[in-house]
Structure 1
Amino acid sequence: MRSSFPPLSCLLAFEAAARRASFSLAANELNLTPSAVSHQIAKLEQLLDVRLFERSARNIALTEPGREYMSRVSLALDAISTATDNVRKGVRNALHLHSAPSFASLWLMPRLADFARQHPGIALSLSSSPTHSDFATGQVDLDIRYGVPNWPHLHVQPIFEERIQPMVSPAFAEQHRIETPEDLLQMPLIQSVVNVVQWGDWFRGRRVQFAPGQYAYSFDRTSMALDAAVQGLGVACDSSSIAADHLNQGRLRKLFDDRWCVKVQAHFLVCPQRHLQRPEVANFIEWIRTHAIDAEGAASGGA
């Protein structure tokens, strides 16, 4: 039993008033009187022993605890609304997936048609942002995260081993004579600031002195850094797995063979342990692992 769960009527009144910044507008939306809305919110504040709104004769404003509570309550109510809509529409076997943006656009999206063919009964909902999912809201079944894994109390499973290496467009390679790692110091380098492995890590592996900050372009997305390399703006140092479509279609090429790459595990399937019992989650994990094995084999090809 969720003994700490406030009455839903109080939460609805609070969310509407916070969103509309008005007890009167919230009352109109909920078909209540303003005094009823005010009573529900006062009851919620008493239960929480926290003041959620600053009140004046003309307006209301969320307190700092109120803003924090609103951010979580609105997500939880959205999850309830989505679940209700799915039931009404007869949607079953729904899978709510969240992913790091570049992985979603460059690696996952080109393969989703195969998942749909193999699992036509699963309704997939995909969202993407660099912020990790908060499983407490109940909105996400499975999260694909990028970074150094430090997520206690969650199931964490690496997707594949990535090879980080310099890549350029064919036109750039033809215009510039690049034969050694030292040659790159004279080239316009493209940085993806969010990458686990940076240019300095790659140069250290080759025992080449590199001064941080020697970048012609910096981006906060791998997808943009790779697009810049495709456009011939310079040399990107990134995952050949994530850049697989660019490499396979000839938009990019590796400058050196895989002996000169940095190997890392940086993309992970993350979820609460209990989610693994859901067939939709288990099916997706099995499907993505099959594709990941193929991707690892393809990424290990030569320059």
Structure 2
Amino acid sequence: MAARSLPPLNALRAFEAFGRRGRMTLAADELCVTHGAISRQIRQLEDHLGVALTEGPRNRLTLTETGLTLAQALTQALDQIEAALPRAVGDGDGTLVVSCLPTFAMKWLIPRLPDFVAAHPEIQTRIVESNGPFDFRADGVDLAIRMRLPDAPPSPDADVTPFLKHYVGPVASPDLAAQIRDVDSLARLPRLHTRTFTEGWAEWESAAGLTLSPAAVNREFDHYFYMLEAAAAGLGVALSPFAFVEKDLAAGRLLAPLGLVPGQARVCALTPRSKITPAARRFRDWLVVQGAATSPPPGAGRGFSTS
């Protein structure tokens, strides 16, 4: 059999990473090399093939039509190689790593998780708390749960499955809630904020079609669950998604005196576009069922009074 006539494999691997990630820096981070090393490998590949694979300014390179065809073929080939590799005992269908928003995990996901465990006792599920960006391969994530707006740009490496509608509104302890009759009375009370979503109140104002006057007292907390505990303790009014306070509202620990309105975002399951594991597929499908079974909050979308 004749020897294969292939370009340097390191150059192919660097080019595939750039084509899949879309940026030199991301490809360099994935392969644990420098930005310059990725650039040199791609130039070497272009010289070897005698064709241009990229175009545009150096800081905003994009793939040519030839480059796109090659990058897609390389991704498919490397996915096939990865799928054919022997796996250690315990890998594959029996493990599942889920990256999830911390408060959503605490308040919505984990209380429902026994249902999934009962249906799939063979799958070991590990919940990893994260608010920020992630990488399926580098972080070892099989599925991620994130909030996404309908007009968010498509993810180059993830399939996005919305599974839960988003409702949002002000919540407070029963004592403070008794003081809230309308938007004006709400505006006079201390307002609670979380650093993980500083635009929360602005989102609610936009969804509700109103503008609050500035609060006399603002209190900020590092995490949603700190803020919600502060609200339950009577320190002020918090702005929260329904999924985070569903149990507290049902128990009367928190009240939503003005109701909740539909938000623009949806809670979504993100799975790798190149290869989803059977366990992740089962978990995604289970999330869709659980989301459909979640009733909207009482009084969702009702009108507001400003006086």
Both structures adopt the same fold (TM-score exceeding 0.5)? yes
Q: Which residues of structure 2 form unaligned runs of 5+?
A: 1-5, 12-32, 40-81, 303-307
**Displaced runs of 4 or more, over 6 A:** none
Answer whether contact 2:93 2:278 (CA < 8 A) is retained.
Answer: no
Could you tell me the TM-score, scaled by structure 1's length?
0.64
Distance 1:101 1:168 in 2: 21
Equivalent of 1:183, from 182, 185, 194?
Answer: 185
Taking only aligned residues, the RMSD between alpha carbons, in angstroms, comes to 3.4
> Equivalent residue for 2:168?
164
**How far apart are 1:87 and its partner, in Å?**
2.9
Distance 1:94 1:126 in 2: 11
Q: 1:124 to 1:183 in 2, by over 3 A?
A: same
CA offset digits 1:77-120 (Å, max 9, x no partner):
xxx9xx99x83468852111111211112211111111101111
Answer whether contact 1:203 1:210 (CA < 8 A) is retained.
Answer: no
**How far apart are 1:298 and its partner, in Å?**
4.0
Q: 1:90 to 1:284 in 2, by over 3 A?
A: closer
> Equivalent residue for 1:4?
10
Answer whether contact 2:145 2:269 (CA < 8 A) is retained.
Answer: yes
Q: Which residues of structure 1 form unaligned runs of 5+?
A: 6-43, 51-79
Percent of aligned pairs sharing the same letter: 23
CA offset digits 1:177-234 (Å, max 9, x no partner):
21111111110111123338522343453433433x7552112322222111111111
Q: Does residue 210 in structure 1 map to residue 213 in structure 2?
A: yes
Q: 1:267 to 1:215 in 2, by over 3 A?
A: farther
- Aligned pairs for 1:79-94 (under 5 A) are 87-88=88-89, 92-94=93-95
Q: 1:275 to 1:221 in 2, by over 3 A?
A: farther
Answer whether contact 2:104 2:243 (CA < 8 A) is retained.
Answer: no
Q: 1:150 to 1:194 in 2, by over 3 A?
A: farther
Answer whether contact 1:191 1:215 (CA < 8 A) is retained.
Answer: no
SS at structure 2 position matched to 1:263: strand
> Equivalent residue for 1:269?
269
Answer whether contact 2:166 2:265 (CA < 8 A) is retained.
Answer: yes
Q: 1:4 to 1:138 in 2, by over 3 A?
A: farther
Look up the equivalent residue of 1:173 and give its one-letter code. A
> Equivalent residue for 1:20?
none
Look up the equivalent residue of 1:283 and give its one-letter code. R
SS at structure 2 position matched to 1:161: strand
Could you tell me the TM-score, scaled by structure 2's length?
0.63
Distance 2:267 2:226 in 1: 18
Answer whether contact 2:177 2:256 (CA < 8 A) is retained.
Answer: no
SS at structure 1 position matched to 2:171: strand
Look up the equivalent residue of 2:233 and give its one-letter code. Q
CA offset digits 1:15-49 (Å, max 9, x no partner):
xxxxxxxxxxxxxxxxxxxxxxxxxxxxx99xx59
**How far apart are 1:271 and its partner, in Å?**
2.0
Distance 1:146 1:136 in 2: 21
Q: 1:206 to 1:181 in 2, by over 3 A?
A: farther
